[in-house]
Structure formats: C-alpha cells, structure tokens
Amino acid sequence: MKRILDGLPYPVVAGRDAAQLVAELAGPLRHRTIVVSDRLVERRGKLVADAVRAAGCDVLGVVNIAAGERRKHLKTVTDLHTAFLHAGADRHTLVIAVGGGTLTDTVGFAAATLLRGIPWLAVATTIVGMVDAAIGGKTGIDRPEGKNLVGAFWPPVGVVADLDAVTTLPLRERRTGMAEVVKAAIVGDAELLERIALFDVKGDPQVWEPLVARAAAVKIGVVARDPLERGERKTLNLGHTFAHALEQASRYRMPHGAAVALGLRAAGILARDRTGWPHADHRRMLHALRRCGLHVHVRGLAPEAVMGAMRTDKKRVNGILRFVLPAKLGDVRYGCEVPAAAVHSALKELGTAVASGGW
C-alpha cells in the first residue's frame, strides 16, 4: 500500500514497508549512502539500510543518534559531519534520515552544510514529520536564544511517510502529532477538520493513510507555490509563534504538538478582534483538538516568560513580531502586527479553561 503525493520537484510517498519504498527511490540513483536514524527507531534504520543495499547501493555506514529538541543543536551537526567524512562521504553521497521532525531537521541541515550540500532523503516516522517537518526543504537547528534560528532551505530528493511506524508511537505522541493535522485543515482543507473530529488516533496504518495524505497535500500545495516562504508559505506558521515560545519557555519539556494546539487557540483569540475569525470556526477547531486528546489550556503559564522567548522569533521584522492569524477556514493571513498587550492577554486566556460558549 502506498500513495504518491504530487506537486513538488521530488516524490513524496506515504505507505507501509517504508524500507522498500526508500529502496525504490534510492536504488535507481546508485549513490553511495549513509543512513542516520533516531535511536528510538534504530530497527527501522537498519531495515532501510538493508533494503537500499539489496537495491544496489553501497551503504557506507549506519549512524544512530539521540534525537529530540534538546539535541537539535550545532554539536549534533558537527558530529554528523565528522561521521559522514570518516565514512568517506563525497558530494554524491546520499544521506537517508530515519526519524521524526527534529531528526530530519538536523540531518537535513548537516547535509545542506557539508561540502556545500549533499543529497538527502527523509523517512518520517512521526505524525509531525509525515505531515509537516519532512516536507518542504526547511532544515535547521536551535540556538540557546531560540528555536530554528540557524537553518537552510535544502530540499530532499524524496520523502517517505512510514505509516507502519505509527503503530509503534506512544498514544501521547500520536495525539500531539494531530495538532499539525488540525493546522493543515485550517490552512487549506476545511472538510478535513470534520474528519479529524471523528478520527480514532488508536487506529492502524490503513486508517492513518488518508489522513496523513490529505494533511501532507495541504503543505505540498502551499510549498509548490511558495518554496522559499516569501509569502503564502508563511501561513503554515499558524500557531507557531506561540508554540515555539511555549516550547522554549518550558525548556522543551512541552512537546511540539502540544504547544501547537495551544498556539492555535491563542492565534484564534488574537484573530477574534482582528480578522473577523468566526466564533463557530473557532469552536470547530477547539472541538477537533479536544477530540484528538489535546489540551487547549495550560496551568501555571507565565506570560512574561513566553513573551520573552518571542523576542528571538525568526518571523520578526525590524524587531516587531508578526503573527499568522485565521480569518476563516481556508483563509489565513500572515504578517499581522499585534500589540504586546494583546499577546499578553491571549497568553493569560490560555491559562484558563474554555468556558461554555467562550474562546
């Protein structure tokens, strides 16, 4: 079972037996390859290495690393550069990254910066990776000052969404990954929001395939029209100015998807008085998030700490924060200037449960 998603200069494939799907993409290239996998999915990395070797590729090495936001930094990249060079990498060596979004972000950036750029292929094993992080060519790492502050646009030669990996994910990770699916629905597929509200996150790979494909298709369409984020692609940052600051303020104890869910609610609160975001659409969004098991408020939130983290957000222009705000389902605005007092107020609302009929 596989589904090929069209629209980008490189193939995006969602399916089962990811190792074989990777071999079908990598085999004809006949590149020497290096496989890098998250230690949490080390077995899947080995399966990929075995499959591409059987397809005729010379596997120079398999590198297993600890991934996660706290390891998405420059030392990990330089360690990867060392491993690649010691394995004999040259400008034609294909690096295959097997893991979630932080792994593909980091490995993609290592590939982008070695020898002025070597090819890489992403094998996404998390929901966030399948519908967002692995698609579009954004690679990068964090700095102590903030998230994703160092990076490059370096598209992969292909993306494989490993649907079998979904069954190995903890329930919490499946739920948090759904926040990116909800975001995709708001940006470009209103009908998907209704499907999410009926979706069972405990389902098997066959159940996940159409959901992953539809959410990924939203991102593919946007990226195809604006690959370097000059305009429309900024809409995919919906909820993320809040989310990245929440993650940073929690010292990355808060999972990305959990932060995105909160960020979506906060963006809706800001949009209430600025874009005409309908209350009915806001309630549909909150309902979908809750149906996925995601929280839309957080206790003990310190607005000042979150706003401090926003000061290094990469979407600032001349020191002024710009937000992405929904106007209606399928209509999202970017570049919205919002006074600091309004941001602070929205953060305070995030600290309280949503009252009946509230925001």
User: Is 219 one of the catalytic residues?
Assistant: yes
- The catalytically annotated residue of 180, 209, 282, 322 is 180
Of 75, 116, 251, 299, the active-site residue reads: 116
State the catalytic residue, choosing from 31, 44, 71, 219: 219
| Catalytic, out of 71, 174, 234, 256 | 256
What tokens were used for 274? Answer: 């600025």
Catalytic residue among 69, 173, 209, 229: 229
Ramachandran angles phi, psi of 300, nearest 5°: 75, 20
| Active-site choice (233, 282, 284, 322) | 233
Confirm whether 237 is a catalytic residue: yes
* Helix 18-26 and helix 42-54, axial crossing angle in degrees, nearest 10: 40
Q: Is 72 a catalytic residue?
A: no
What DSSP state is assigned to residue 283?
Answer: H
Task: Report the distance separating Cα 260 and Cα 288, nearest Å.
Answer: 13
Q: What is the sign, positive or negative, of the torsion defined by CA atoms of 219, 223, 226, 231?
A: positive
Query: Is residue 60 within 8 Å of 34, Cβ to Cβ?
Result: yes
Closest residue by Cα to residue 126 from 59, 182, 208: 208
Q: Name the residue among 155, 285, 129 with its Cα closest to residue 215.
A: 129
Kindly name the residue from 31, 174, 234, 240 that is annotated as catalytic.
Answer: 240
Q: Is 244 a catalytic residue?
A: yes
Catalytic hit among 147, 244, 315, 322 = 244
Q: Is 295 a catalytic residue?
A: no
**Catalytic residue among 237, 247, 282, 284, which?**
237
Beta bridge partners of 141: 150
183 is catalytic: no
Q: Is 256 assigned a catalytic role?
A: yes
Which phi and psi (to 5°) does residue 10 adopt?
A: -125, 155
Output Rg (C-alpha) for the chain, integer angstroms: 20
Among the listed residues 72, 138, 174, 175, the single catalytic one is: 138
Task: Tell me whether residue 247 is one of the annotated catalytic residues.
Answer: no
CA nearest 89: which of 47, 64, 120? 120
Catalytic positions, please?
116, 138, 180, 219, 229, 233, 237, 240, 244, 256
